[in-house]
Amino acid sequence: MIYPWHQAQWQDLQALRTRWPHALLVHGPAGIGKVSFAKAIAHALLCETPAADGQACGACPACHWLAQGNHPDYRLVCPENMLEEAAQEKDQTVNEATKESTKKARAPSKEIKIEQVRSLLDFCFVGAHRGGWRVVLLHPAEALNHTAANALLKILEEPPPKVAFLLVCTHFDRLLPTIVSRCQRWPMSSPAAAPALGWLNTQGVGPQLAAAALAQAGGAPLAALEYLQNKQLTQWHRFLLDQLAAGANCDIYACAEALQTTPVALVLGWLQRWLYDLSALKTAQRLRYYPDEAAALERCIKYLDLLKLTEYARTVNLQRAVENHPLNSRLWFEELLLAYRSIFNA
C-alpha cells in the first residue's frame, strides 16, 4: 500500500528499476508506513504485469500468491514476537526456520536470530521459481543480533544475482556500518501536516483530535491512528502525562506500578517528547508535541533546572539503545522517574 504522502517518493523510486540495487535500506521515523512502502516494492518486483506507475497489478498469478501469503520467491524475516501479527497479514510469508524457532521458544524473541538469516541461503542461491526476482523483506533491521548481522553481511558482500534485499529500520545508526555501506539508503521522513491530517480525517478522526494525536506522535500518522484506536495506550499515556505534570511531586512508585506492562519504547518516546517541550518552552516559549498540555508545562518550568534537564534528557536518549532489554521494567521505570524528579528545584 502506498500512502498519499509517499506518492512522490514512489515515483522517484522508479528511476532505480533499470538497475535495481541488491539491497535497499528504507529508514525513517516510526509510524509513517515504511514497511508498507517496502511491501509495495516487493510486490512490484515480483508482479508479472506491473501497472504504468510501477505498482503491482494485483491480478497476475504472482500477485494472487502474495495475497494468499505463499509466493515461493518472497521471504519475510522479522523477530519472533512479530510473527503472530505477521501471520494475520495476508500478503506476508514467514520463512520455515522462523516458524520452527517460534515453536521451540518459551517466550518470543525480540531479536532476529542467526538461524533466520541462515535459512535464507538456500532461498538466495537457488533459482527463482518464476524466473524473475527473489525478494527478502527484513524488518526491523536493527533487531538483528550480532551473529545474525554478521551472517547477513556475508550474503550482502557477495550478493546472488536477481535477489533483492529490502531492509527497513527506524534507527539505522544501530546497524553495523558495514551492512549500511552495502545497501543503497532510501531515507523517508514524516509527512507534511496537511496530507497526514487529511488521511486521519478519512479514517474517521475529527480535525481537532487528529491534530492533537499527530502532534503527540511527532507527525507520524500511523502512530497517531494506532494511539487513538487503542484505549489502553491512551490510558497509559494520560496517566504518565499527569504524573510528569506533577514535577517534583511525581509519584514514581504508582507510575512504575501502572506502567510496568507498557512497552518500554513507548514510554521512552512519550518521556522524550515531554522533555523536549519542557526545554522548548523554557528556552523559546514554544511547544511541539503537547500544545494541549501548555498549562501543566508552564507550571513545571517555574521550578525547572535547565542544566539538570539537559543532563537527564541525555540519559533518557541513551536508554533508547537498550529499550528492548530491560531486566525489570518496574524497577527501571522507578529509577528513570526518580531521576526525573531531581531536575526540579524544591
For the purposes of burial, counting CB atoms within 10 Å of the CB of 277, is it exposed (0-12), middle (13-18) or buried (19 or more)?
buried
DSSP-assigned letters across all residues of 43-84: HHHH-SS--TTS---S-SHHHHHHHHT--TTEEEE--GGGHH
pLDDT of 104 higher than 70: no
b/e per residue, 294-325, with b = 16+ CB within 10 A? eebbeebbeebeeeebeebbeebeebeeebee
Quote the pTM value: 0.85
Write out pLDDT tens, residues 207-263: 999 999 999 999 999 999 999 999 988 999 999 999 999 999 999 999 999 888 888
**Given pLDDT bands bounded at 50, 70 and 90, which one contains residue 102?**
very low
pLDDT digits (tens, 9 = 90+) for 40-65: 999 999 999 999 999 999 999 999 99
Predicted local distance difference test score (pLDDT) of residue 97: 53
Four-residue CA torsion sign, 67, 69, 74, 80: positive
Q: How many CB atoms lie within 10 A of CB 137?
A: 22
Q: How far is CA 133 from CA 42, 71, 169, 182, in A?
A: 9, 12, 22, 19
Q: Coil, strand or helix: which one is 168?
A: strand
Nine cell digits for residue 320? 533508547
Residue 125 CB contacts under 8 Å (≥ 6 apart), including other chains: 160
150, with CB counted inside 10 A (0-12, 13-18, 19+), is: middle
pLDDT digits (tens, 9 = 90+) for 256-290: 998 888 888 889 999 999 999 999 999 999 999 99
Per-residue pLDDT at 175: 93
Residue 109 has a pLDDT of 78
Give pLDDT tens digits for 296-329: 999 999 999 999 999 999 999 888 777 766 568 8
Cis upstream peptide for 195 (omega within 30°): no
Provide the terminal-to-terminal Cα distance of the chain, rounded to the nearest Å: 52
Helix (H, G, I), strand (E, B) or coil at 69: coil
Return d(Cα 200, Cα 102) in angstroms, integer: 35
Label residues 183-211 b or e (16+ Cβ within 10 Å = b): beebebebbeeeebbbbbeeeebeeeebb
Bridge pairing between strands 23-27 and 74-77: unpaired
